[in-house]
Amino acid sequence: MIGIVDYGMGNLHSVSKALERLNYDYFISENQDELRRADGLILPGVGSFKDAMEILRSEKLDQFLIEWAKSGKPLLGICLGMQLLFEESEENGETKGLALLKGKVRRFTGVTKAGERYKVPHMGWNRLAFHQEHPLLDQVEQGHVYFVHSYVVQAMEAGELLASSDYDVVVPAVVAKENVLGTQFHPEKSSSVGMKLLENFASIVTKEKEAKKIYE
């Protein structure tokens, strides 16, 4: 069972519909006691990093998510949800994140090194480039996925970068550190490539649940 964290800033409909297409059980909740029943969590996100963190802190969901990550259960951040996993963002002033992953979120400059301007936000389909193997990428094609974002993760640990795209700078597209996972793009809107990635996350959740039963 996957729990989708509802904190008022996530595209809950598209994520839940994607899980329905995969025939995987899920529920949506902002209640910590209910979310603890899940075997894995998805943290979606659309909007401002600062606003999102203020809501998470006000509802004490920030500490809940940190404790969840420490428990070893799978956690997948999507788009803004992925950015929240990192240390801080400069969006609307410096704001501390969950710091589950090392790295800082910075705005695209909108100007190349050659002085040419490019569009911000980064919106549309870009091709993935894989950097290392991981269960989250098992049998996922290095195809095109759908991005919508004005800010990009920088200064992250190279060993935690699974896949990237390019938009003047390297865009961390899929990241992972043990049970903490993230995608900058929207897998639920990324056709067969994104659906396979979500299917792999569901498989990770299932395997973790089964392993836990063995050791109980």
- 20, 188, 199, 210: the catalytic one is 188
Please say if 188 is a catalytic residue: yes
Catalytic residue among 79, 131, 160, 199: 79
Whether residue 149 lies in the annotated active site? no
Q: Is 116 a catalytic residue?
A: no
Strands 40-43 and 75-78: parallel
> Which residue in the list 122, 131, 149, 186 is annotated as catalytic?
186
R_g of the chain, CA atoms, integer Å: 16
Active-site residue list: 79, 186, 188
